[in-house]
C-alpha cells in the first residue's frame, strides 16, 4: 500500500459523523456591479482598474503602459484563452 492509499484508508476509517452545512447565504448581499465596486475601491486606494475581456486586451494594456517595445509575443502568458 503506497502512502496515498494509506492516508485515504485512514481518512475513510476515521471519518467523523456527517454534519449538516450551516445555514449560510452564498448569494451576494449587495446588488451593485461587483466589478465596478472593486474598480472604485481600487481607485480609492490609489490603484487603477481596467476592465478587459480577453487576453489580447491585457497584452495591449501591458504593452502600452509598461513595455512600449513592440509585440509581447516573446512573453510567456500563463493562460491561453
Partner 1 sequence: MTSRLAITGVNFAVAETGEIVVCTNEGNADLGVQLADVHIACMGIEKIIPKRKHLGIFLRLLARSATGQPITTYSSHFRRPRNGQAMHIVLVDNGRSERLASPDFRNALKCIRCGACMNTCPVYRRSGGHSYHYAIAGPIGAILAPGLDMKKHADLPFASTLCGSCSNVCPVKIDIHDQLYKWRQVLTQNHQVGTMKKAGIETMARVLAQPGLYKTVGKVMRWFLNNIPFVINNRLNPWYRQREMPKPPAKSFQQWYAENRKAK
Interface ranges with partner 1 (CB under 8 A): 3, 6-7, 10-11, 13-16, 24, 26, 76-78
Measured distance CA(51)–CA(33) in Å, rounded: 13
Measured distance CA(39)–CA(34) in Å, rounded: 9
SS3 state at 43:
helix
Q: How far is the CB of 42 from partner 1 (least distance, A)?
A: 12
SS3 state at 5:
helix
Q: How far is the CB of 6 from partner 1 (least distance, A)?
A: 8
CB of 16 or CB of 70, closer to partner 1:
16
Q: How far is the CB of 53 from partner 1 (least distance, A)?
A: 19
Amino acid at each position: 500500500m503506497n502512502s496515498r492509499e494509506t492516508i485515504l484508508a485512514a481518512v475513510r476509517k476515521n471519518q467523523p459523523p456527517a454534519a449538516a452545512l450551516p445555514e449560510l447565504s452564498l448569494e451576494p448581499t449587495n446588488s451593485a456591479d461587483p466589478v465596478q465596486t472593486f474598480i472604485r475601491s481600487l481607485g480609492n486606494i490609489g490603484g487603477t482598474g481596467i476592465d478587459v475581456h480577453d487576453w489580447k486586451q491585457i497584452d495591449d494594456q501591458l504593452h502600452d503602459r509598461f513595455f512600449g517595445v513592440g509585440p509581447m509575443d516573446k512573453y510567456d502568458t500563463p493562460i491561453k484563452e
